[in-house]
Amino acid sequence: MTGNMPPNDSDGSGPRSVAVVGAGITGLVAAWELRRRGVNVVLYEASGHAGGAIRTTHADGFLAEHGPNSFVTSPAVESLLQQLHLEEDVVQANPGAKRRYVVRDGRLVPFPLTPSSMLGTSLLSLRAKLRVLLEPLVRTRRQEGDESVASFVRRRLGHEVLDYAVDPFISGIFAGDPETLSMAHAFPRVAALERRFGSLSKGLMMQRRSLAGGESDGGADSMPGDTKGHLMSSAAPVPARLISFVDGMQTLTDTLEASLAGTLRLGCPVRLVHRQEARWLVDAGQDGASRSRLVDAVVMATPAHVLAAMELPASMRACAAPIERVEYPSVSTLTLGFRRQDVAHPLDGFGVLIPAAEQRSLLGALFSSSLFPSRSPDDCVTITCFVGGARQADRAREDADLLVERVLVDLRQLLGVRGEPVFAKHVFWPRAIPQYTVGYQAVKDAADATERQNPGLYLAGNYRNGVSVGDCIASGQQVAERVVAYLARAGS
């Protein structure tokens, strides 16, 4: 259902008009929010479909997600779902599938989620557990400048925690390398605990006390994958939920696309963006069929690397150079279906993450049919596997048959899989997830400077405000608010 939307000038060139470039989830939400506020919008998408990485395939009774499989809600997300009338389409993750597994020495070990389970886990040695208990005694870092995730964790918690507790989750969130990712930018809330309290343990304890007393932790920093940091100050507290939709994640982007009828231009790449007096000239379309349009503001909701292929003002090109160099490792997704009787493991959890130290082909796997209903026929199970990332980028580029062979070796040894899959869907992402590497402040500064020097131009997307679906939704909502404020100032 599309809800009640204000009329929209599909030409997008009238007063209070905005061009949104890129119809991924950020661009869709930004365009939807702008149109909801009465702004004339045109939304450009270079590919033949909207939704970006969010796509769902249904075949032979199986459901395969090309990109994100789920996301965590926030008050802003819950509000969007209500406005789109999607409440009845939402499906929450199975509460019995909270367990996360990590591989150590070739076997699956439940990841400890509480202090008591940490003491009893076989994931860490006794020496590593003692090292964690001594964390409050570790001095804070005095050296100025950025620090990698690996350096931070080794310094505060030891190398074993890095290898078996942090490294696999880095792969799960960023498909990245903890040696190159920035602690301050990839996990700002965790880094802030050391700065504010001098200790992670003390900081977590103080936060629990504050929350128990009804105080806010400020929400100033939000780490990717944690949409709970994006709180609307006027909203009542809403418990976060891990959700998808009955028919898969594409339900969300399809609903947004339907609500933007008349504004979306598919297969229409933007080639040129230039300032023309107090407005912006946008040239878009295929060779021989391009069309120019004057608008009051432009939202660039594309991946960072797309900027390099566009004709931009010299001042913008100079500012945006660090943005164009953001790294995106390749990732392949393999959704495999098996007969239930051919998988020995009960698949009683969220999935499994595999540390680099285990030297496997897999980064990790989701137990998709355990998480959400209707992901496979009743007598089958679905396992979604991830290969490549910063760890093994070249492996992600291998053909589907070879990847299935490699993945099956790991699944047979780790999950007791027998026989061949009865369903397989391979999706290759040549540029998957932006890497918030050491020195990433230069990228954020470049984005800020680009906007300052080009009034009416806005940059949004997962390279700027977090990589999760919830982060991208919040990014689209926030940039729409900024654009509306700009239009009000320009019109006054």
pLDDT in tens, 275-316: 888 899 999 987 667 788 999 999 999 999 998 888 887 878
Residue 1: pLDDT over 80 = no
- CA pair distance 492, 481, nearest whole angstrom: 17
pLDDT tier for residue 30 given thresholds of 50, 70 and 90: very high
Residue 122 neighbours by CB distance under 10 Å: 11
Q: What is the DSSP letter of 389?
A: T
Residue for token digits 């164009």? 324
Per-residue pLDDT tens digits for 173-229? 999 999 999 999 999 999 999 888 888 888 888 877 765 655 433 333 333 333 333
Lowest mean pLDDT among 63-77, 276-290, 340-354, 429-443: 276-290
Give the type of residue at 33.
Answer: E
Strands 40-44 and 17-21: parallel
What per-residue confidence (pLDDT) applies to 11? 45
What pLDDT does residue 93 have?
95
Residues 83 and 59: their CA atoms lie apart, in Å, by: 30
Q: At what angle do helices 75-83 and 469-491 cross, to 10 degrees?
A: 80
Q: What is the mean pLDDT of the chain?
A: 89
What does the angle CA 111 – CA 366 – CA 128 come to, to the nearest 5 degrees?
Answer: 20
CB atoms within 10 A of CB 217: 17
- The first and second tokens of residue 405, run together, are 């062979």
Cα dihedral value 179, 180, 185, 186, nearest 10: -60
> Does the structure show a pLDDT above 50 at 164?
yes
Residue entry with tokens 């137990």:
367
Contact status, residue 20 vs residue 283, Cβ threshold 8 Å:
no
**Beta-bridge mates of residue 300:** 21, 459
